[in-house]
Structures are given as C-alpha cells and as structure tokens.
Amino acid sequence: MAASSILVVEDEENIRELLRFTLEREGFRLVTAGTAAEAECHLARALPDLILL
C-alpha cells in the first residue's frame, strides 16, 4: 500500500521542517508550502490525502 500524502501549508520554516521530519519518520509522503500560492501549485499537480494548515 502506498504511503498517505500530506500537504503542509505553514509560513514558519522551522515548523514546516519539524513537521516534515516527524511525519516522514512515521512513513507519510510530505509536500510543504510556505504560502497559499505555493499550496495552490501543489494542489494543481496532485491532491493529497490530508492538508494541514
């Protein structure tokens, strides 16, 4: 079974990196965005299983 994908949208880089580190260790595929515009670009390519704002 493929790992679940998560899009993390967070403007604070330290928090984004902490979430990336933690969630990837748990086996999730992660995409991060620092702005709403970045998030829209990611969403145009693929829909994640979960979006964290």
Q: What is the DSSP letter of 11?
A: S
- The domain total for the chain is 1
Q: Which residues constitute the domain of residue 28?
A: 5-52
Q: Sign of the C-alpha dihedral, residues 39, 40, 41, 42? A: positive
SS3 state at 13: helix
Percent of the chain surpassing pLDDT 70: 98
What's 41's domain CATH number?
A: 3.40.50.2300
pLDDT at 15 over 80: yes
pLDDT of residue 1: 67
Q: pLDDT tens for residues 22-45?
A: 999 999 999 999 999 999 999 999
**pLDDT at residue 47, rounded to an integer:** 96
Counting beta carbons within 10 angstroms of the beta carbon of residue 46, is it exposed (0 to 12), middle (13 to 18) or buried (19 or more)? exposed
pTM of the model: 0.90
